[in-house]
Amino acid sequence: MSAPAARIEMLDLREADAADAVLCDAFAAYSVMRYTLGAAAGDAAALRRLIGLFTAGRWMRGHPVLGAREASGRLVGVVTMTPPGEFATPHALTALTESTWSALGEAARRRYEAIKSAWNATALPGARWHINMLGVLGSHRAQGYGELLLQAARGFAAAGPQPHGIDLTTEDETNLAFYRRRGFAVAAHARVDERLETWTLVSET
């Protein structure tokens, strides 16, 4: 497949709504979102709240959010990343977290905490960048945009005086082949419950 005519750029907070719209489209049917939201899984407003909480953690901490923009200028893909290390939680993020779960409900919060517990249990030692979310508009899938975003994320992690590898999780077993073909290896696996499991993958280059 030839690479699409697209540019990868660093996004800033002014494009938060556009980035969230791409990720909502990309992850609308994703298992983590559907599991967390439960009966509200088909509610577009609930999904926007949940993804907005996820991305707010990146914007508020100044972590990189990269976008793929097609030749027309339309944003069609987004990848969010967390650098190695520990980071304080801004007060505004704490407040947003509480208001989000208040709106989505305590049952949704408990389900998400179960997912977080599985992620924590399979966390890998070592200093790596973490890909939080990588999503492409449904209308643009299988056209090479995900590949471009992944390459950009790897380049970002490898830049600087101390290059690092990357890790990520997926809750869709069909994604494993995509990442394996691109040099990632499955390093851990956990089951949240009978409806959901998660895999941790790592690339050291």
pLDDT at 159: 86
pLDDT at 83: 93
Phi, psi (degrees; rounded to nearest 5) at 125: -70, 160
Parallel, antiparallel, or unpaired: how do β-strands 75-82 and 128-136 relate? antiparallel
What's the CATH number for 6-154? Answer: 3.40.630.30
> Which pTM does this prediction carry?
0.94
pLDDT at 194: 92
Q: What is the DSSP string of 80-133?
A: EEE-SS-----HHHHHHHHHHHHHH-HHHHHHHHHHHHHHHHTPPSS-EEEEEE
Exposed e or buried b per residue across 111-129, where buried means at least 16 C-beta atoms within 10 angstroms of its C-beta? bbeebeebbeebeeeeebb
**pLDDT, tens digit, 9 for 90 and up, residues 123-150:** 988 889 999 999 999 999 999 999 999 9
Residue ranges of alpha helices (H) inside the chain are 16-27, 31-37, 44-61, 91-104, 106-121, 145-158, 175-180
pLDDT at 125: 86
**Domain spans of the chain?**
6-154
User: Which token pair is 81?
Assistant: 């990343």
The Cα 193–Cα 187 span in angstroms is: 20
Name 26's Cβ contacts closer than 8 Å, sequence gap at least 6. 77, 78, 135, 136, 137, 138
Low-confidence ranges of the chain (pLDDT < 70): 1-3
pLDDT at 1: 58
Q: Is 47 helix (H, G, I), strand (E, B) or coil?
A: helix
Least Cα distance to 193 among 28, 35, 17, 10 occurs for 35
The Cα 155–Cα 42 span in angstroms is: 36
pLDDT at 80: 98
The Cα 11–Cα 168 span in angstroms is: 20
